[in-house]
Structure 1
Amino acid sequence: MTYPPATDPVRPSPLRWLLPAVVVVTAWLAWPWVQPLVERAIYAGRLAAMPVPEVLPVPVQGVAKRALRDTWGVARGGGRRHEGIDIFATRGRPVLSATEGIVTRTGTNRLGGNVVWVMGPGRQMHYYAHLDRHGDVKPGDRVAPGAVLGYVGDTGNARGTPPHLHYGVYTGSGAINPFPLLTADR
């Protein structure tokens, strides 16, 4: 039996360190832009894993829970039903985040006017609408309970009605009535 002739072992390229070095330098240079995204993703995961609140504070400064009225499910134009409650207060009164969370959207829409969306514990989405103006928040901001999101108004389809906050809570299965959460005993 004959064997092939012995050959020299393959020698590694002298540039074998180049690709790992480029990856390390790129990651180091990009970290100031990447770090907030990583931290936000970690926080979003923590929020999603938290239990949903069983009690919520009234999200309008100075409004007592005894002043709330359950407007959930009331008929609206076009065959719609009211998916939230209206919290009446003087124009310009601060609207506060009911939970900790991440601001996912700010802006305007036809029905809600000036709106803010906050993802809270358990991935519930909290919707604040008819704001006179937005607070100093933008998408991606982390907010604590009680953070100012905006101010009571009558924008959107509430134009001409008494100033109020439309507050809604949404789950993966759809809207839920926030009234029992806002009026529950702590």
Structure 2
Amino acid sequence: MFPVGGCRADASQSHHDYPASDIFARVGCLFVAPVDGRVDEVTRVDSWDPGTNRGADRGGLSVSVVGVDGVRYYGSHLSAIQAGIAPGVEVRAGQPLGRTGKTGSARGTPPHLHFGISWPTGPNRWWVRRGAVAPQRFLNSWHEGGQLSPVALVAASRRAYGADRGCRSYC
């Protein structure tokens, strides 16, 4: 399911330095679970500081879901997170997770949802969580009502990535 609902949203067809998409929409649009799954990580405090620009803090308010398909879906720069959304909570496709916004490093940009697709990792592996597989073709499919799955591409990308030696780009 397309991860922004309740208003017009346009997904970028490219992203800087690592695979992800910025889905531009006004502040307050719904960020919804793209698949059935369970909440993996939630960041409810925006601790990004432009003076340090720590990669782990760039997302501001964020939620990630590990789908029943084994893929992690990540959304950040949220203005709010829905009540009851916490690690381990089961969610259904289309269920609200939060609201689009401008937190983290998006403070000086138009409002958007940063959307990343990756494989599940241990806690705080932000360099994988932020996006490891280009999501554009999947977002385009879902926006048109299609059901293109990223499972095979995520598995191939994980094999190609190899051992996790930490952040490799835009750290």
| Conserved 8 A contact 1:112-1:129 | yes
Match for residue 35 of structure 2 among 86, 95, 99: 99
**CA-to-partner distance for each residue in 1:114-168, whole Å, 9 max, x for gaps?**
0101001332111110000111211110000011110000111111211100000
Match of 1:132 among 79, 104, 121: 79
- Structure 2 counterpart SS, 1:129: strand
Quote how far apart the aligned CAs of 1:171 are: 2.2
Shift of 1:64: 5.9
Name stretches of at least 5 consecutive residues in structure 2 with no aligned partner. 46-55, 122-127, 147-171
The structure whose residues are more often helix, as a share, is 1
- Once superposed, which parts of structure 1, at least 4 consecutive aligned residues long, lie more than 3 Å away? 62-65
* One-letter amino acid of the counterpart of residue 168, structure 1: G
Bigger RCO of structures 1 and 2 (CA < 8 A, at least 6 apart): 2
1:121 pairs, out of 57, 68, 73, with 68
State how far apart, in whole Å, the 1-side matches of 2:7 and 2:27 are: 13
Give the alignment's TM-score, normalised by structure 2: 0.65
Counterparts in 2 of 1:93 and 1:63: CA distance versus 1, 3 Å: closer
- Amino acid of the residue matched to residue 102 of structure 2? D
TM-score normalised by the chain length of structure 1: 0.60
State the aligned residue count: 122
The alignment status of 1:177 with 2:124, answered yes or no, reads: no
Residue 104 to residue 172, structure 1, CA distance change in 2 (3 Å)? closer
Instruction: Give the gaps of 5 or more residues in structure 1.
Output: 1-56, 75-80
2:21 pairs, out of 68, 78, 85, with: 85
